[in-house]
Chain A
Amino acid sequence: MTIDRRKFFKSIAITGMTIIGVNASGAPKAKSEDEETEFYGILYDSSICIGCQACEKACAKAHGLPEPTDKPEVGVVRKTSENQRCVLNSYETSQGEVYVRNQCMHCNEPACAAACLTQAMYKTKEGPVIWREDKCMGCRYCMISCPFDVPKFEYGSTNPKIQKCDMCYDRIIKGEKPVCVETCGDALFFGTRRELVAEARRRIAEIPELYIDSIYGERVAGGTGYLYLAPVAPGELGFDTRIQPSSYPALTKGFLYSVPSVFILVPTLLLGIHEATKSRKTKDENHD
Protein backbone atom coordinates (compact mmCIF):
# COMPACT_ATOMS: atom_id res chain seq x y z
CA MET A 1 0.00 0.00 0.00
CA THR A 2 2.77 2.43 0.91
CA ILE A 3 4.55 1.70 -2.33
CA ASP A 4 1.36 2.36 -4.24
CA ARG A 5 1.03 5.67 -2.55
CA ARG A 6 4.62 6.59 -3.18
CA LYS A 7 4.23 5.68 -6.82
CA PHE A 8 1.14 7.80 -6.96
CA PHE A 9 2.95 10.82 -5.56
CA LYS A 10 5.71 10.27 -8.05
CA SER A 11 3.26 10.32 -10.90
CA ILE A 12 1.71 13.49 -9.48
CA ALA A 13 5.12 15.09 -9.33
CA ILE A 14 5.84 14.12 -12.92
CA THR A 15 2.51 15.49 -14.10
CA GLY A 16 3.16 18.67 -12.18
CA MET A 17 6.61 19.04 -13.67
CA THR A 18 5.31 18.64 -17.21
CA ILE A 19 2.87 21.43 -16.61
CA ILE A 20 5.61 23.60 -15.17
CA GLY A 21 7.92 22.69 -18.02
CA VAL A 22 5.30 23.50 -20.60
CA ASN A 23 4.58 26.81 -18.97
CA ALA A 24 8.19 27.78 -18.62
CA SER A 25 9.20 26.93 -22.18
CA GLY A 26 6.72 29.28 -23.83
CA ALA A 27 8.33 32.65 -23.17
CA PRO A 28 11.98 32.34 -24.18
CA LYS A 29 11.15 30.74 -27.54
CA ALA A 30 9.15 33.75 -28.66
CA LYS A 31 11.99 36.03 -27.60
CA SER A 32 14.66 34.34 -29.70
CA GLU A 33 12.39 34.53 -32.74
CA ASP A 34 11.99 38.21 -32.02
CA GLU A 35 15.70 38.78 -32.16
CA GLU A 36 16.38 36.79 -35.30
CA THR A 37 13.75 38.12 -37.65
CA GLU A 38 12.41 41.43 -38.74
CA PHE A 39 8.68 41.79 -38.83
CA TYR A 40 6.99 43.10 -41.93
CA GLY A 41 4.44 45.81 -41.49
CA ILE A 42 2.40 48.43 -43.31
CA LEU A 43 2.63 52.21 -42.99
CA TYR A 44 -0.63 54.07 -43.53
CA ASP A 45 -0.35 57.75 -44.40
CA SER A 46 -3.67 59.47 -43.81
CA SER A 47 -2.51 62.64 -45.57
CA ILE A 48 -2.36 60.71 -48.83
CA CYS A 49 -5.45 58.51 -48.45
CA ILE A 50 -8.46 59.81 -50.37
CA GLY A 51 -10.91 57.24 -48.99
CA CYS A 52 -11.50 55.59 -52.38
CA GLN A 53 -12.11 52.17 -50.80
CA ALA A 54 -10.08 50.41 -53.49
CA CYS A 55 -8.20 48.57 -50.72
CA GLU A 56 -11.47 47.49 -49.08
CA LYS A 57 -12.78 46.11 -52.34
CA ALA A 58 -9.53 44.35 -53.20
CA CYS A 59 -9.41 42.86 -49.70
CA ALA A 60 -12.99 41.57 -49.93
CA LYS A 61 -12.31 40.04 -53.35
CA ALA A 62 -9.06 38.40 -52.27
CA HIS A 63 -10.63 36.78 -49.21
CA GLY A 64 -13.96 35.77 -50.69
CA LEU A 65 -15.99 38.29 -48.70
CA PRO A 66 -18.93 40.41 -49.96
CA GLU A 67 -17.99 43.77 -51.50
CA PRO A 68 -18.68 46.64 -49.10
CA THR A 69 -21.65 48.81 -50.09
CA ASP A 70 -21.40 51.65 -47.58
CA LYS A 71 -19.00 54.58 -47.84
CA PRO A 72 -16.90 56.31 -45.20
CA GLU A 73 -18.89 59.22 -43.83
CA VAL A 74 -18.18 61.80 -41.15
CA GLY A 75 -20.11 60.97 -37.99
CA VAL A 76 -20.61 57.32 -38.91
CA VAL A 77 -18.15 54.84 -37.42
CA ARG A 78 -17.83 51.79 -39.62
CA LYS A 79 -16.45 48.74 -37.93
CA THR A 80 -14.72 45.65 -39.20
CA SER A 81 -17.02 42.66 -39.10
CA GLU A 82 -17.16 38.99 -40.00
CA ASN A 83 -17.74 40.22 -43.58
CA GLN A 84 -15.14 42.96 -43.67
CA ARG A 85 -11.53 42.69 -42.63
CA CYS A 86 -10.67 46.37 -43.12
CA VAL A 87 -12.70 49.58 -43.13
CA LEU A 88 -12.07 53.21 -43.93
CA ASN A 89 -13.54 55.85 -41.70
CA SER A 90 -13.77 59.58 -42.06
CA TYR A 91 -13.38 62.00 -39.16
CA GLU A 92 -13.90 65.74 -38.94
CA THR A 93 -10.85 66.90 -37.01
CA SER A 94 -9.18 70.17 -36.05
CA GLN A 95 -7.17 69.79 -39.30
CA GLY A 96 -10.20 69.13 -41.51
CA GLU A 97 -11.54 65.82 -42.75
CA VAL A 98 -9.13 62.91 -42.23
CA TYR A 99 -9.47 59.31 -43.40
CA VAL A 100 -8.36 56.44 -41.20
CA ARG A 101 -8.04 52.79 -42.08
CA ASN A 102 -8.94 50.21 -39.43
CA GLN A 103 -7.88 46.58 -39.50
CA CYS A 104 -5.74 44.23 -37.44
CA MET A 105 -2.76 46.11 -36.05
CA HIS A 106 -0.47 43.04 -36.11
CA CYS A 107 1.00 43.80 -32.70
CA ASN A 108 4.58 42.87 -31.93
CA GLU A 109 3.32 41.10 -28.85
CA PRO A 110 -0.27 40.27 -29.73
CA ALA A 111 -2.74 39.82 -26.87
CA CYS A 112 -4.84 37.50 -29.05
CA ALA A 113 -1.95 35.11 -29.67
CA ALA A 114 -1.01 35.10 -25.99
CA ALA A 115 -4.64 34.41 -25.15
CA CYS A 116 -5.07 31.57 -27.60
CA LEU A 117 -4.83 28.20 -25.90
CA THR A 118 -4.32 26.29 -29.14
CA GLN A 119 -1.96 28.69 -30.93
CA ALA A 120 -4.62 29.20 -33.58
CA MET A 121 -3.93 32.93 -33.33
CA TYR A 122 -0.29 33.05 -34.17
CA LYS A 123 2.35 35.70 -34.63
CA THR A 124 4.36 34.50 -37.61
CA LYS A 125 8.06 35.22 -37.79
CA GLU A 126 7.35 37.35 -40.88
CA GLY A 127 5.19 39.67 -38.78
CA PRO A 128 1.55 39.03 -39.69
CA VAL A 129 -0.73 37.70 -36.96
CA ILE A 130 -2.67 34.88 -38.58
CA TRP A 131 -5.57 32.65 -37.60
CA ARG A 132 -5.33 28.92 -38.22
CA GLU A 133 -8.67 27.24 -38.64
CA ASP A 134 -7.64 23.67 -37.88
CA LYS A 135 -6.39 24.62 -34.42
CA CYS A 136 -9.12 27.03 -33.30
CA MET A 137 -11.82 25.77 -30.95
CA GLY A 138 -13.92 28.90 -31.14
CA CYS A 139 -13.64 30.01 -27.51
CA ARG A 140 -13.39 33.70 -28.50
CA TYR A 141 -10.85 34.48 -25.78
CA CYS A 142 -8.86 36.33 -28.47
CA MET A 143 -11.83 38.69 -28.85
CA ILE A 144 -11.90 39.31 -25.10
CA SER A 145 -8.19 40.06 -25.06
CA CYS A 146 -7.59 42.12 -28.20
CA PRO A 147 -7.38 45.80 -27.15
CA PHE A 148 -8.35 46.90 -30.67
CA ASP A 149 -11.42 44.61 -30.87
CA VAL A 150 -10.15 43.13 -34.13
CA PRO A 151 -11.04 39.40 -34.29
CA LYS A 152 -14.60 38.93 -35.52
CA PHE A 153 -16.59 35.72 -35.12
CA GLU A 154 -19.13 34.24 -37.52
CA TYR A 155 -22.02 33.81 -35.10
CA GLY A 156 -24.37 32.71 -37.87
CA SER A 157 -22.30 29.71 -38.92
CA THR A 158 -22.24 26.15 -37.65
CA ASN A 159 -18.55 25.96 -38.56
CA PRO A 160 -17.61 29.52 -37.64
CA LYS A 161 -14.40 31.26 -38.61
CA ILE A 162 -12.58 34.12 -36.98
CA GLN A 163 -12.29 36.89 -39.58
CA LYS A 164 -9.46 39.34 -39.34
CA CYS A 165 -6.77 40.86 -41.52
CA ASP A 166 -3.83 38.47 -41.93
CA MET A 167 -1.74 40.97 -43.94
CA CYS A 168 -2.19 38.51 -46.84
CA TYR A 169 0.25 36.12 -45.23
CA ASP A 170 0.01 33.69 -48.16
CA ARG A 171 1.22 36.45 -50.50
CA ILE A 172 3.99 37.62 -48.18
CA ILE A 173 5.61 34.18 -47.98
CA LYS A 174 5.58 34.13 -51.79
CA GLY A 175 7.42 37.45 -51.79
CA GLU A 176 4.42 39.52 -52.87
CA LYS A 177 2.87 42.56 -51.22
CA PRO A 178 -0.51 42.42 -49.47
CA VAL A 179 -3.40 43.14 -51.89
CA CYS A 180 -4.34 46.39 -50.16
CA VAL A 181 -0.83 47.78 -50.62
CA GLU A 182 -0.75 46.49 -54.19
CA THR A 183 -4.04 48.23 -54.98
CA CYS A 184 -3.45 51.50 -53.17
CA GLY A 185 -1.58 54.34 -54.85
CA ASP A 186 0.66 55.72 -52.14
CA ALA A 187 -1.19 55.78 -48.84
CA LEU A 188 -0.11 52.25 -47.91
CA PHE A 189 3.56 51.39 -47.77
CA PHE A 190 4.82 47.85 -47.19
CA GLY A 191 8.20 46.95 -45.71
CA THR A 192 10.02 45.73 -42.65
CA ARG A 193 9.04 47.54 -39.52
CA ARG A 194 12.44 49.17 -39.26
CA GLU A 195 12.13 50.55 -42.80
CA LEU A 196 8.62 51.78 -42.08
CA VAL A 197 9.66 53.68 -38.98
CA ALA A 198 12.57 55.27 -40.88
CA GLU A 199 10.26 56.19 -43.78
CA ALA A 200 7.66 57.66 -41.43
CA ARG A 201 10.32 59.74 -39.66
CA ARG A 202 11.59 60.95 -43.01
CA ARG A 203 8.11 62.08 -44.05
CA ILE A 204 7.54 63.87 -40.76
CA ALA A 205 10.89 65.63 -41.05
CA GLU A 206 10.31 66.57 -44.70
CA ILE A 207 6.83 68.06 -44.36
CA PRO A 208 6.39 68.77 -40.65
CA GLU A 209 3.26 70.89 -41.24
CA LEU A 210 1.41 67.82 -42.54
CA TYR A 211 1.89 65.47 -39.56
CA ILE A 212 2.02 65.46 -35.81
CA ASP A 213 5.42 64.40 -34.59
CA SER A 214 4.47 60.90 -33.57
CA ILE A 215 3.87 57.58 -35.27
CA TYR A 216 0.80 55.77 -33.97
CA GLY A 217 1.73 52.12 -33.57
CA GLU A 218 5.37 52.71 -32.75
CA ARG A 219 4.75 52.23 -29.05
CA VAL A 220 1.05 51.60 -28.47
CA ALA A 221 0.30 48.13 -27.07
CA GLY A 222 4.01 47.38 -27.12
CA GLY A 223 4.40 48.33 -30.78
CA THR A 224 2.33 47.25 -33.77
CA GLY A 225 3.06 46.12 -37.31
CA TYR A 226 0.65 48.69 -38.68
CA LEU A 227 1.94 52.25 -38.35
CA TYR A 228 -0.04 55.45 -38.84
CA LEU A 229 0.95 58.91 -39.94
CA ALA A 230 -1.72 61.50 -39.22
CA PRO A 231 -2.14 65.26 -38.88
CA VAL A 232 -3.96 64.95 -35.54
CA ALA A 233 -3.70 62.96 -32.33
CA PRO A 234 -5.01 59.38 -32.44
CA GLY A 235 -7.83 60.29 -30.06
CA GLU A 236 -9.39 62.46 -32.77
CA LEU A 237 -9.33 59.57 -35.20
CA GLY A 238 -11.44 57.10 -33.28
CA PHE A 239 -8.58 55.28 -31.60
CA ASP A 240 -9.15 54.24 -28.01
CA THR A 241 -6.80 56.47 -26.01
CA ARG A 242 -6.98 54.11 -23.02
CA ILE A 243 -4.99 51.45 -24.85
CA GLN A 244 -1.81 51.15 -22.85
CA PRO A 245 1.60 51.97 -24.33
CA SER A 246 3.10 48.66 -23.16
CA SER A 247 2.60 45.03 -24.12
CA TYR A 248 -0.69 43.34 -23.23
CA PRO A 249 0.58 39.79 -22.70
CA ALA A 250 2.83 41.25 -19.99
CA LEU A 251 -0.33 41.74 -17.91
CA THR A 252 -0.69 38.00 -17.38
CA LYS A 253 3.01 37.30 -17.01
CA GLY A 254 3.03 37.68 -13.23
CA PHE A 255 0.19 35.22 -12.85
CA LEU A 256 1.63 32.66 -15.23
CA TYR A 257 5.08 32.87 -13.69
CA SER A 258 3.64 32.20 -10.24
CA VAL A 259 2.25 28.85 -11.42
CA PRO A 260 5.43 26.78 -11.01
CA SER A 261 6.06 28.10 -7.52
CA VAL A 262 2.48 27.42 -6.49
CA PHE A 263 2.83 23.89 -7.86
CA ILE A 264 5.88 23.31 -5.71
CA LEU A 265 4.99 25.25 -2.57
CA VAL A 266 1.31 24.40 -2.06
CA PRO A 267 1.60 20.59 -2.17
CA THR A 268 4.66 20.75 0.08
CA LEU A 269 2.83 22.95 2.55
CA LEU A 270 -0.24 20.71 2.47
CA LEU A 271 1.80 17.56 3.01
CA GLY A 272 3.60 19.29 5.87
CA ILE A 273 0.37 20.28 7.58
CA HIS A 274 -1.00 16.81 6.97
CA GLU A 275 2.01 15.21 8.66
CA ALA A 276 1.86 17.66 11.56
CA THR A 277 -1.80 17.04 12.26
CA LYS A 278 -1.33 13.28 11.90
CA SER A 279 1.32 13.03 14.61
CA ARG A 280 -0.76 15.10 16.99
CA LYS A 281 -3.69 12.78 16.46
CA THR A 282 -1.72 9.63 17.20
CA LYS A 283 -0.46 11.24 20.40
CA ASP A 284 -4.05 11.93 21.40
CA GLU A 285 -4.89 8.34 20.71
CA ASN A 286 -1.98 7.18 22.85
CA HIS A 287 -3.35 9.17 25.76
CA ASP A 288 -6.58 7.26 25.42
Chain B
Amino acid sequence: MPIDIDIAHVAKLARIELSEQDMASYRAQLGVILDHAAKVQALPTEGVQPTSHPLDMVNAFRDDVVTPSLDRDEVLSQAPDATDGFFRVPPSLDNE
Protein backbone atom coordinates (compact mmCIF):
# COMPACT_ATOMS: atom_id res chain seq x y z
CA MET B 1 0.00 0.00 0.00
CA PRO B 2 1.60 3.31 -1.01
CA ILE B 3 1.54 5.57 1.98
CA ASP B 4 0.94 9.26 1.53
CA ILE B 5 2.46 11.28 4.34
CA ASP B 6 1.96 15.02 4.68
CA ILE B 7 5.17 15.30 6.67
CA ALA B 8 5.02 19.08 7.00
CA HIS B 9 1.59 18.85 8.63
CA VAL B 10 2.71 16.02 10.89
CA ALA B 11 5.83 17.97 11.96
CA LYS B 12 3.70 21.03 12.65
CA LEU B 13 1.26 19.02 14.78
CA ALA B 14 4.24 17.60 16.70
CA ARG B 15 5.83 21.05 17.04
CA ILE B 16 9.15 20.04 15.52
CA GLU B 17 10.82 22.52 13.20
CA LEU B 18 12.38 20.58 10.31
CA SER B 19 14.36 21.64 7.26
CA GLU B 20 13.11 20.61 3.82
CA GLN B 21 15.93 18.10 3.66
CA ASP B 22 15.06 16.57 7.04
CA MET B 23 11.43 16.34 6.04
CA ALA B 24 12.28 14.46 2.88
CA SER B 25 14.45 12.02 4.76
CA TYR B 26 11.87 11.43 7.52
CA ARG B 27 9.12 11.02 4.95
CA ALA B 28 11.10 8.27 3.26
CA GLN B 29 11.94 6.48 6.53
CA LEU B 30 8.37 6.70 7.78
CA GLY B 31 7.22 5.23 4.49
CA VAL B 32 9.42 2.16 4.97
CA ILE B 33 8.40 1.66 8.58
CA LEU B 34 4.70 2.18 7.89
CA ASP B 35 4.90 -0.21 5.00
CA HIS B 36 6.10 -2.85 7.44
CA ALA B 37 3.67 -1.76 10.13
CA ALA B 38 0.81 -2.03 7.66
CA LYS B 39 1.13 -5.82 8.09
CA VAL B 40 -1.27 -5.39 10.98
CA GLN B 41 -3.95 -4.75 8.39
CA ALA B 42 -3.57 -8.28 7.02
CA LEU B 43 -4.91 -9.91 10.19
CA PRO B 44 -8.64 -10.57 10.40
CA THR B 45 -9.85 -8.51 13.34
CA GLU B 46 -13.53 -8.17 12.69
CA GLY B 47 -15.34 -8.15 16.01
CA VAL B 48 -12.07 -8.05 17.97
CA GLN B 49 -12.04 -5.47 20.74
CA PRO B 50 -8.95 -3.24 20.89
CA THR B 51 -6.74 -3.67 23.96
CA SER B 52 -5.52 -0.52 25.61
CA HIS B 53 -4.60 -2.12 28.92
CA PRO B 54 -2.90 -5.48 29.11
CA LEU B 55 -4.61 -6.24 32.42
CA ASP B 56 -8.36 -6.21 32.64
CA MET B 57 -8.81 -3.88 35.60
CA VAL B 58 -11.18 -0.97 36.27
CA ASN B 59 -11.64 1.88 38.75
CA ALA B 60 -8.34 2.91 40.25
CA PHE B 61 -9.19 6.07 42.18
CA ARG B 62 -7.81 8.27 44.90
CA ASP B 63 -9.77 9.87 47.73
CA ASP B 64 -10.41 13.60 47.51
CA VAL B 65 -7.67 14.50 49.96
CA VAL B 66 -5.24 17.39 49.66
CA THR B 67 -1.56 16.45 49.79
CA PRO B 68 1.41 18.83 49.93
CA SER B 69 2.40 20.62 46.72
CA LEU B 70 5.97 21.26 45.60
CA ASP B 71 8.07 24.16 46.79
CA ARG B 72 7.69 26.94 44.22
CA ASP B 73 11.34 27.99 44.27
CA GLU B 74 12.39 24.41 43.59
CA VAL B 75 9.90 24.17 40.72
CA LEU B 76 10.91 27.48 39.16
CA SER B 77 14.62 26.72 39.58
CA GLN B 78 14.20 24.29 36.67
CA ALA B 79 12.33 26.74 34.46
CA PRO B 80 14.16 28.18 31.46
CA ASP B 81 12.56 31.54 32.29
CA ALA B 82 10.55 32.62 35.32
CA THR B 83 9.58 35.87 36.98
CA ASP B 84 7.62 36.84 40.10
CA GLY B 85 6.44 33.31 40.74
CA PHE B 86 5.33 32.75 37.15
CA PHE B 87 6.79 30.77 34.27
CA ARG B 88 7.52 33.12 31.40
CA VAL B 89 7.23 32.31 27.70
CA PRO B 90 7.26 34.33 24.47
CA PRO B 91 3.91 35.79 23.37
CA SER B 92 1.30 33.65 21.69
CA LEU B 93 -0.03 34.56 18.29
CA ASP B 94 -3.36 32.90 18.82
CA ASN B 95 -5.85 35.47 20.00
CA GLU B 96 -7.34 33.46 22.81
Note whether A and B form a binding pair.
no
